[in-house]
Copies of this chain bind each other. A is one copy, B any other.
Amino acid sequence: MANKKVHILDSTLRDGAQAEGISFSVDDKLKIVRALDSFGVNYIEAGNPGSNPKDLEFFRRVRDIELENAKITAFGSTRRRDVEAADDKNIISLLSAGTDTVTIFGKSWDFHVTDILNATLDENLAMIYDTVSYLKSAGKEVIFDAEHFFDGYKANAEYALKCLEAAESAGADQIVLCDTNGGAFPGEVFDITKLAVEKFETPIGIHCHNDCGMAAANTVMAVNAGAVHVQGTFTGFGERCGNANLSTIIPCLQIKNGIDCVPGESIKNLTSVARFISEVANVSFNEREPFVGKGAFSHKGGMHIDGVSKAAKSFEHIDPELVGNERKLLMSEVAGRATILSKIQRVSPRLQKDSPETEAIINRLKELEHEGYQFEAAESTFELVIRKQLGKYKPFFELVTYKIISEDQNENGKTGGKASAVIKVLVDGKEEITAAEGDGPVNALDRALRKALEVFYPTLRDLHLTDYKVRVLDGQSATAAKVRVLIESRDARSAWSNVGVSTDIIAASLIALVDSIEYKLIKDIEVFL
């Protein structure tokens, strides 16, 4: 019954954006598109141009990106009850997105047709048929999402199936059974999907929500029943409790059930892609997440640690390296060593797993992680930690003092901030003091620091900050909480990122800024050597 291959549709940018607290900028969306494409999903459902006009800018800009694996998909609904498909403004918007593939959702639960749409059951069938056939005639690949299909089937099986028939006879390329409210259970999902797979020639897909904690299980059961197209979001973001989590489902299918979802070599990037998307969305990562969480292969109980030391499979259902994750033995000095070693050897190739320097670096990393540092998205800070620990580090400057003054301008009663920074640095015994103004204290500090240092290091003129993120750790301490600042920088040759942690956002930003500058100066020297 199992298939050898399923298609993956990621809806992080559409259904995921419906989650509380998530709001992607166009730049965020483009970054996620690149990551999902190189990971190898088949479809990226990227927005609903009809309900969200600013998505059109995204669809315009995404055309300039050359994609290797994925097709960009725009999302919309069946035509309104009282207009032709060609005249429906949402469908016009949908076509204006200019994608080769579109997803159309239509009702398949009789109650929704009559009570929410205020349409007759026959009108809804015509809406499905007309919309799909109009989009087919416009040359699109059409994915039909049968909204509330499982609830609809349980309420009125005959009508729910008629909705699928309408989509099939209009030429839909794929028909997706949706558990929109997330209330279905694995047994019924298996049975109902199997029936649809047997009844229709069109490939059947599955789209689940997690309101009963069953989204991943329901998806796997639907694939077991013959579904060949899987919809979800990469980190499980979505309305209410979220969508089926692709970072769970892809390894469940591909590693554990032998069903291909993405290119074989991609699966080892699963953890980093999940973390990347979570960082871009600025959502704190659930470390208990299957496969990709830091806890997924962490062992704390003494008997468990003893077991995995004897044979990994004793307490691990898969090898963590398959998904780019790693084993962690909590309160154990061997934690993480193998992974860290490769980074250490880039700086000092002679060091081995059991060298005392390796030990010292690992201890320092643990201390920093305990303080709130995270190095996933800040490899250059990580490299600086290694260099400092090994003495392979030249302090290019000393920050002698800084002072920042922020005050209101109080024009027309509006609170508008004005900030200026005074900074003094010491380079080779020479002091330089300077000042700058900025949009807020961190910007003022950034400008002053670079202005002072450019006197000594003219190559810093090439340094550009390209991104700045703030994450409040332990938000419950409110304005006294620790913050983690992540900055991305680039020059003409490369890009890098750095991290700083402090209870003071200015101090945290400064740590990351100083790291970024030092990293550039080290790079510049190495080029000249």
Which residues of chain A have a CB within 8 Å of any CB of chain B?
A: 18-21, 23, 25, 27, 51-52, 54, 77, 111-112, 115-116, 180-183, 185-187, 190, 210-214, 216-218, 220-221, 224, 236, 239-242, 245, 248-249, 252, 256-257, 282, 284, 286-291, 293-304, 306-307, 310-311, 313-318, 328, 330, 332-334, 374, 376-377, 398-408, 410, 413, 415-419, 438-443, 445-446, 464-481, 483, 487-488, 502-507, 509-511, 514
Contact = CB atoms under 8 A, between A and B. Distances in A.
Contacts of A332: 23
B21 A241 contact: no
B408 A405 contact: no
A159 to B, nearest CB: 16
A95 to B, nearest CB: 20
A507 to B, nearest CB: 4
A480 B300 contact: no
The residue among A182, A400, A417, A475 with the most chain B CB atoms within 10 A of its own CB is A475
Contacts of A473: 25
A422 to B, nearest CB: 9
A323 to B, nearest CB: 11
B407 A474 contact: no
Given A20-B330, A52-B334, A404-B406, 19 more contacts: A20-B287, A23-B374, A51-B301, A52-B333, A112-B314, A116-B307, A116-B311, A185-B217, A187-B190, A212-B216, A213-B245, A240-B288, A240-B299, A284-B476, A402-B406, A404-B407, A405-B405, A406-B406, A438-B479
Contact of A181 (B241, B317, B376): B317
Interface core residue of A297, A418, A507 (most chain B CB under 10 Å): A507
30 contacts: A19-B288, A20-B294, A20-B300, A20-B377, A23-B374, A51-B334, A115-B314, A116-B306, A181-B315, A186-B221, A212-B252, A213-B248, A213-B252, A214-B216, A236-B288, A240-B288, A241-B293, A282-B471, A398-B413, A402-B407, A403-B405, A403-B406, A416-B507, A440-B483, A440-B505, A441-B504, A467-B475, A467-B476, A468-B475, A468-B477
Contacts of A112: 307, 314
Contacts of A306: 116
Contacts of A294: 20
Closest 3 CB pairs of A and B: A183-B317, A417-B504, A217-B217
Contacts of A291: 211
A240 B469 CA distance: 21
B212 A504 contact: no
Contacts of A218: 217
B417 A27 contact: no
A186 B225 CA distance: 13
Nearest to A287: B20
Given A302-B51, A314-B112, A480 B408 contact: no
